[in-house]
Amino acid sequence: MTDLKEHAQSFAAYIGLDWADKKHNWTMQTADGQRSRGELLHTPEAIDAWAAELAQRFGGRPVAITLEQARGALIAMLSKYGHLHLFIVDPSRLNYYRKSVSPSGAKSDPVDGDLILDFQRKHPELVRCLAPDTVETRSLQFLTEQRRALVNQHTRYVQVLTHWLKQVFPQILEWFDDVSTPLVGDLLKRWPDLVKLKKVRPETLLQFLHDHNCRSVERNQQRLKELRTAVAATHDTALLKTANLMIATTIEMLATLRTSIEQFDDQIHAVYETHPDRFLMESLPGAGKALEPRLIAAMGTDRGRFRSAADMACCFGIAPVTESSGNSRWVHWRWQCSKFIRQTFHEWAACTVRKDGWARDHYERQRAKGKGHHAAVRSVAFKWIRILYRCWRDRVPYSEQRYLEALTRAAGKGKPAVNAAEPSVGLPSVQWKNCGGFSKPTKLSS
């Protein structure tokens, strides 16, 4: 990961930019040490004029701009200009730095511009360069993140629908396992309450269920039987008016979200098919078509982004954090990270433990030690990142057979190759030691 200190460019000026919604405050220091302040309106026209002014003033030489925002409208506007080199400072770091120089907590936008510039000049190794990845990778990053956001909204509206059905039409929750399906949505559109549904002829309802691929004769007959004896949950007119409107609205939202998620899936699949790192992700067990694009989006294509697997594990939020002072020691999970990426690796690791192999064996060992499910899955994810980092760096597909052979060689025993399809046959016993809250192999014994 490139930082400001390692950047080879000789900058004509350094700018600390405190971004906001309507206008931004900046502080600039030129090569001769002169400082100046200013304000920048948040409009494409104002930013374009400012960038042109900087280019004219410094003869097109590069200018370093440091700000707290790694993604957003301002970044999108500034990234158009080749002479503006963008650097990112972590907001939490800047917050602690602000407290160190201003214990009183005094704060203002112009002073924050000064603060960002000071941090940039005094701690260049802690400021990273914003180097955009390939178009395909960034497309997968945006698409997969927003797809997950739509899925979360879909889940929220399912909960809203369930909430209102429990009050006015709870029988639907018994008759159908998933209220988010088009079957339930179309049924509630056509017969929004129990009174109207009870008036329907059995043949009409059976045909409706058949048209929606709900063809279990036993289950449908059971629904008709329960419908005949069903009793309305409430007769409160005020509640029914609100509930019917909320149910109808929620059904429309769920239908729209389903369509949008399908469109995102199509776009993700189209981009993923053309990505040069697809062959790496297809070799990973348990990933599948849902997680493979998300793993590419997390890893990126810049092989210089991470110096080691430990850097990757920290960035992705899988490596734990240890706080120790005196006789006290606390190991907890990492809070300053991308929650979406951490979730991606957690979900993938959970998928791998369902298959035969070292991942399941390691998971079961962690559970036998008394660790909870999610702690054990994170331990598996921690080991997976070490493997995936090497495959990604060397552009070599994953092979469980090769991994087990490497594990044997690392232990210095020279054991013969083990069949990855039968991990329990001929596999030496692995002895483990605790390392940073996780387990790592120390040696193999027969």
DSSP state string for 93-130: HHHHHHHHH-TT----HHHHHHHHHHHHHH-GGG-EE-
Please report, as a single letter, which amino acid is at residue 183.
L
The predicted-structure confidence for 219-240, as pLDDT tens digits, reads as follows 999 999 999 999 999 999 999 9
- Domain end call among 105, 132, 159: 132
Between 251 and 437, the more confident residue is: 251
Residue 147 pLDDT grade (very low, low, confident, very high; cuts 50, 70, 90): very high
What CA–CA distance (Å, rounded) separates 10 from 230?
A: 78
Structural domain count of the chain: 3
The predicted-structure confidence for 270-322, as pLDDT tens digits, reads as follows 999 999 999 999 999 999 999 999 999 999 999 988 889 999 999 899 988 88
The predicted-structure confidence for 17-28, as pLDDT tens digits, reads as follows 999 889 999 999
The predicted-structure confidence for 66-102, as pLDDT tens digits, reads as follows 999 888 899 999 999 999 999 999 888 888 888 888 8
Flag whether pLDDT at 440 surpasses 80.
Answer: no
- Domain end call among 132, 159, 188: 132
Region of 426 (left: φ > 0; alpha: ψ -120 to 50; beta: rest) is: left
123 with 209, same domain: the answer is no
| pLDDT score, position 300 | 92
311 with 266, same domain: the answer is no
Average confidence (pLDDT) over 341-363: 93
Helices H / strands E in the chain, number of each: 18, 10
How is residue 99 written in tokens? 């407290």
Percent of the chain surpassing pLDDT 70: 90
Work out whether strand 23-30 and strand 13-18 pair parallel, antiparallel, or are unpaired.
antiparallel
For 249-388, strand residue ranges (E) read: 321-325, 328-332
| pLDDT score, position 352 | 94
Q: Does some domain include residue 167?
A: yes
Domain that holds residue 39: 13-132
302 alpha carbon, distance to own chain's centre:
19
Average confidence (pLDDT) over 205-220: 94
**Non-local CB neighbours of 320 within 8 Å, separated by 6+ positions:** 331, 332, 333, 334, 436, 437, 438
The predicted-structure confidence for 51-70, as pLDDT tens digits, reads as follows 999 999 999 999 999 999 88
295 with 390, same domain: the answer is yes
Work out whether strand 128-129 and strand 321-325 pair parallel, antiparallel, or are unpaired.
unpaired
Residue 416 pLDDT grade (very low, low, confident, very high; cuts 50, 70, 90): very low
Kindly report the CATH number assigned to the domain that includes residue 251: 1.10.287
| pLDDT score, position 421 | 34
What CA–CA distance (Å, rounded) separates 299 from 179?
A: 36
| pLDDT score, position 240 | 94
Q: Specify which residues 321 forms β-bridges with.
A: 332
| pLDDT score, position 78 | 93
Work out whether strand 328-332 and strand 321-325 pair parallel, antiparallel, or are unpaired.
antiparallel
Q: Does some domain include residue 3?
A: no
In this structure, of 144-158, 270-284, 325-339, the range with the lowest mean pLDDT score is 325-339
Q: Average per-residue pLDDT in the chain?
A: 88
What CA–CA distance (Å, rounded) separates 148 from 261?
A: 9
208 with 228, same domain: the answer is yes
Q: 354: which DSSP letter?
A: T
Residue 342's CB is within 10 A of a number of other CB atoms, namely 19
Residue 428 pLDDT grade (very low, low, confident, very high; cuts 50, 70, 90): very low
114 with 39, same domain: the answer is yes
